[in-house]
A and B are shown apart, each in its own frame.
Chain A
Amino acid sequence: MAAKILIADDAKFIRVILKNILQENNYDIAGEAADGRQAVEMYKELEPDIVILDITMPVMNGVEAVEKIRKYDESARIILCTAKGQKQMIKKALKKGARDYIVKPFEEERLLKTITRNLG
């Protein structure tokens, strides 16, 4: 069965790109969240195999969302998705239990590699 992926990014534009790439590569899109809180709620409801999480989002930022998701599911696989220049935030989020990160603009290949690496 294809892995289920939850996408969380407040920019619809980025969600669309992610969705297209993932669907073309036979992943299931479990859902799309537009802010951190939504991401946490959707994670609990959908229990996806992997979350791609933007680091700066409204309502609840990525770092907090990582913390909440990991609290709910210790083994949650979270990949951060961020534009460059967010090292501090990435470090914090990795500390809270995010597994990996990709930097926008990401290449398709790089994204897919990161996902497979973390699914294994």
Chain B
Amino acid sequence: MDEVEKYQQEFFDESFKYIKKLNNSLLVIEKESDNKKSLNKAFRSVHSLKGMAAMMGYEKLAELTHKMESLLYDIRQGKLPLHKPVLDCLFTGLEYIEQLVFDIRTENNEKQNIKKYMHYVQQIIQGDFSVSFPDKDLEPAKKEAPLRKTENINSSGLQVTKDKLDKLMNKVQEQFLYQAYLQVVGTGHDIYQDLIQNLSEATDQLYEQLLQVRTLSAQELYSRLLPLVRSLSRKKNKKIKFRFEGANIRVDREITGELTTILIHLIRNAVAHGIEKPEIRKQRGKDSEGEISVQAAQDGDKINFRVQDDGSGLRIEEIARQAAQRGLVEPEKIKELTEQQKLDLIFEPGLSTASEVTEISGRGVGLDVVKNTVDKLQGEINLTTRVGAGTTFSVLLPCSRSYIRAYLFELNNRVFALPETEVRETIKAGPEDLEEICGRQVIVHQNTAVPLVVPGVCQDEKKFLDKFNDGSRFSLLIISRDSSLWAAAAEKILAQKNIIKISSGKQNIKLPELPIEYIGGVGLTADGDTVLLYTGQQD
């Protein structure tokens, strides 16, 4: 038995990897049925899973993957077409694999019954495409489980709490500070230069990797959604084509949980109430296969997720009427409402949870939940609809909860950032504009003496000014903080950008002779550059 334990973790890590690979290749095949490469990949993934399951003595998993391998083999040989029944069968198989691995992982027991599925695959292999698979066979208690499971899978079986990640992040930031310190003390010592350079590159890369961990691509998000939407449309007997766009958009993990909830709700509604049954679609002169698309796009500092269906659309007057009936709006006021305002009533709690409204309006279960979640994330949700043509929900969310808009400026080859809210204005100046008062360099700005501060580790104000003795000019950012003014020196103001503020607390790092505590953490620009957050003098 200890042989089993010894290899178990390895087995899970690998299984998750292959499940993910299988999922991805099936997604490609679904779109491009002649993609031999992905078909081979799917075959190999199933094959590897089979070998591993056999080694570990997981009989059901071995049996299941063996059958799926046969199916893929026949597809590869051209004996079976890659049309919907076959694809459904493959995707269902994937769900079974996930379920079995999940069972093994949580209960060390292959609980899931696979008999029905095995029978189903056999029929498909024999070319009987009339069969469709009873969805109920998959563990009913775990209806929402696919999500949980795939979450594990998408992190390759490794789970890191956000808390730990943040701690790690803080450590890297600390390292940024030490590195900045080293840069100062090491200046002029040639032998240290290379070392410092290497250290700084390593720190940058480390940080970048951490950020990758902290964010999730929309692709990963989509692959979590897919099993769900797939089984949904099967259950509702609807033919639906799913289209996902913007797979490369990255989302901060902080909001992926909520975002997933939002998307599931919207997709579920689109499947259940938006897209019509095939026969009705035909009557309406539409393609019998409906389409739901989810599109992710970067929109400045926000990300936009659109869920669009080409279904029946919402009947605006009906929504208004129902809202009035439920006392959500006074009947006589309805006439004064614009179409959009009437439409927005659908987000009202009393309205959208009512099941009969759902039938009439064609949409609406739990939209108040969606709205609340969006509000919580400080986002916006809008919808447009046309009767008979479909509905589009557009959700606009901040990339991360912790982003701020900031001025980026350069000093001593370092990029600093200052929150825009603190910068009152920026001015150009030369050394001659400053005077020394009580041992401090001060600039008179709008009749106020504003002391000069040089951010970062190279704090010497005179040394900074000396650089501009040739008549060149520098920039000053006038900062207003705690009702006093400071002028932060900058060689160059680079841009105003959104940055994700990684740490908010002070570092509490004491470094000899260096007022490094003015650096309040690290920020990240949309291009992935790291910047030091300047917090200024606080004493």
Which A residues lie at the B interface, using CB under 8 A?
A: 9-14, 16-17, 54, 56-58, 82-85, 104-105
Contact = CB atoms under 8 A, between A and B. Distances in A.
Contact of A13 (B11, B47, B62): B11
Contacts of B18: 11
Contacts of A83: 47, 50-51, 54, 62, 66
A13 B44 contact: no
Contacts, number: 54
A104 B62 CA distance: 10
Interface of B: 7, 10-11, 13-14, 18, 40-41, 43-44, 47-48, 50-52, 54-57, 62, 66, 69-70
Given A16-B7, A85-B69, A56 B44 contact: yes
A11 B47 CA distance: 10
Contacts of B66: 83-85
Nearest to A55: B47
26 contacts: A9-B51, A10-B44, A11-B18, A11-B48, A11-B52, A13-B11, A13-B52, A14-B55, A16-B7, A16-B10, A17-B55, A56-B43, A56-B44, A58-B41, A58-B44, A82-B51, A83-B47, A83-B50, A83-B51, A83-B54, A83-B62, A84-B54, A85-B66, A85-B69, A104-B55, A105-B54
A14 B13 CA distance: 12
B76 to A, nearest CB: 11
Contacts of A16: 7, 10
Given A58-B41, A104-B54, A105-B57, A13 B70 contact: no
Contact of A104 (B41, B51, B69, B70): B51
Contacts of B10: 12-13, 16
A10 B18 CA distance: 10
Given A84-B66, A85-B66, A85-B69, A14 B41 contact: no
A11 B17 CA distance: 10
B69 A14 contact: no
Given A11-B48, A13-B13, A13-B55, 10 more contacts: A11-B52, A13-B10, A13-B11, A14-B48, A56-B44, A56-B48, A83-B54, A104-B51, A104-B54, A105-B56
Nearest to A103: B54
A58 B66 CA distance: 18
Nearest to B43: A56
A10 B57 contact: no
A64 to B, nearest CB: 13
B14 A11 contact: yes
Given A13-B14, A17-B7, A85-B70, A105 B55 contact: yes
Given A17-B7, A58-B41, A85-B69, A12 B14 contact: yes
3 closest Cβ pairs, A-B complex: A83-B51, A105-B54, A13-B14
A11 B7 contact: no
A56 B47 contact: yes
Contacts of A54: 51
Nearest to B9: A13
A60 to B, nearest CB: 11
Contacts of A104: 51, 54-55
A54 B47 CA distance: 10
Contact of B52 (A14, A84, A85): A14
B7 A13 contact: yes
Contacts of A58: 40-41, 44
A42 to B, nearest CB: 19
A11 B51 contact: yes
A36 B108 CA distance: 33
Determine which residue in B11, B13, B14, B47 has the highest number of CB atoms from chain A within 10 A of its CB, and name it. Answer: B47
A36 to B, nearest CB: 11
Contacts of A85: 66, 69-70
Nearest to B14: A13
Nearest to B69: A85
A9 B18 CA distance: 14
